[in-house]
Structure 1
Amino acid sequence: MQRENHSKTSDEELIRLIVHENKTSLFELLYRRYFNKVMDKCYSFIKDKQQAEDFANDILTRAYEKLPGFKGNSSFSSWLYSITYNYSIDYLRLKKKLHYPNWNKQNEIPDIIDESETDLEDFKYENLLAILEIIHPEEKALLLMKYQDNLSGKLIAETLRITEDAVKMRLKRARTRVIYLYKKTHPKD
């Protein structure tokens, strides 16, 4: 019997084969496609390479277990990244006992920031990355989901377990905080 080559098969088709035709061994292809990407996302939050690898394994195992519930309302990668963000943020919440509303009160930003005058794309990439490391992990996740992964407000809300209105409000606050901190730490840029 000749073995089929599925290396160029789409994620969605692989999922269909895994779930509906019980070809569970094909999950290995999805695992290889996404392991490094998931690990990199985890690393961006926890800054520990070994732990990021362990998290990536756990997350992909979790994704495999939840695969029958994948509805296809978004791409597999978006669905997987939402699991990744949840996992990483839940870990940080437990480890650091981070509670966003309390953190936000302790890290107020001035009301005088006018976002309309500033385009984040004008900021130097390296400096922007440094700012992302000092803001709250949920704000960082929110900005990455919106601007790096292009997730919808609805998917971000589901991922962070908040309402879409809260996503809009927190996204605005996160952008404002980044602008404020950037201008404060890099006034000549």
Structure 2
Amino acid sequence: MVKEKLAGIDDEELVRRIIAENKTALFEELYKRYYLKVVDKCYSFIKNRDQAEDFANDILSKAYEKLPGFKRNARFSSWLYAITYNYSIDYLRHKKKLHYPNWNSENEIPDIPDEDEADLESLSYENLLKILEMIHPEEKALLLMKYQDNLPGKHIAQTLQISEDAVKMRLKRARTRVVYLFQTEFKKE
């Protein structure tokens, strides 16, 4: 198949052909489309470019193995990012021995009124990046999935294997933690 023709085929159709027609060579096109995106997602969590590249290879291999289980009720990119987030979070959990409920109870934050979220409008991008490094990887993943990748709560719940209500609660807690850290660390003037 000519490369130009592959460029016009959407991800889900490529997956269908890989599975239905056993055209495994087509996965190379998906690999090319997503390798750097997966590397960047991994890097945002682990802050090591070489390791992020290794993780991307592992994740894309894992995605290839799991292609028969891909349900077409979501976009391929969302499905792949779910694998990427889970892989990165699992690594950080094992490396840092982070268990979200324990970490959350050890890092309690005071109640902050919802209107204080308006404070975030003055938060610079650089300070936001610093704050994202200060919060738990699962909270960071939640915020990135919701606000960067625009994933609906249902997909976030499936990705993190928690209920939609837990997603709502944890998103609220993550936003509150960002506001609190902004107020205490960056708004001292």
Q: How does 1:23-42 map to 2 (within 5 A)?
A: 23-42=23-42
Q: TM-score, normalised by structure 2?
A: 0.94
Contact 2:85-2:141 within 8 A present in 1 as well: yes
Q: Return the alpha-carbon distance in structure 2 between the equivalents of residues 125 and 73 of structure 1.
A: 34
Q: CA deviation at 1:140?
A: 0.3
Equivalent residues in 2 for 1:16-165, closer than 5 Å: 16-111=16-111, 113-119=112-118, 120-165=120-165
CA contact (8 A) 2:63 2:83 kept: yes
Number of equivalences? 186
Partner of 2:184: 184
Retained in 2: the 8 A contact 1:143–1:171?
yes
What is the rounded CA distance, in whole Å, between the counterparts of 2:170 and 2:39 in structure 1? 26
**How large is the RMSD of aligned CA atoms in angstroms?**
1.4
Question: C-alpha separation between the residues in 1 aligned to 2:29 and 2:121?
Answer: 35
Residue 173 of structure 2 is aligned to residue 173 of structure 1: yes
Query: Identity over the aligned pairs, expressed in percent?
Result: 71
Which residue does the alignment assign to 1:4?
A: 2
Distance 2:75 2:92 in 1: 26
8 Å CA contact retained: 1:131, 1:178: yes
Structure 1 residue 122, shift from structure 2 partner: 4.1
Q: Deviations over 1:34-53 (max 9, x none)?
A: 00000110011111111100
Deviations 1:93-119 (A, max 9, x none): 1111101111111111111x1123423
Residues 117 and 176 of structure 2 are in contact (CA less than 8 Å); yes or no, is this contact kept in structure 1?
no
Secondary structure, counterpart of 2:108 in structure 1: coil
Cα offset, 1:7, TM superposition? 2.1
Kindly state the Cα deviation for residue 8 of structure 1 after the two structures are TM-superposed: 2.4
Distance 2:47 2:108 in 1: 25
* Post-superposition offset of 1:71: 1.0
More helix by share: 2
Partner deviation per Cα, 1:7-36 (whole Å, 9 max, x = no partner):
221111111111111111010010010000
- Are the equivalent residues in 2 in contact too, given 1:115–1:179 (CA < 8 A)? no
Equivalent residues of 1:82, 1:159 under 8 A apart: yes
Which ranges of structure 1 fall in alignment gaps of 5 or more residues? none
Letter of the structure 2 residue corresponding to residue 185 of structure 1: E
CA distance in 2, matches of 1:63, 1:121: 38
Structure 1 stretches of 4+ with a deviation exceeding 6 A read none
What TM-score, normalized to structure 1? Answer: 0.94
Measure how far apart 1:4 and its partner are: 3.0
Q: What SS does structure 1 have at the residue aligned with 2:134?
A: coil
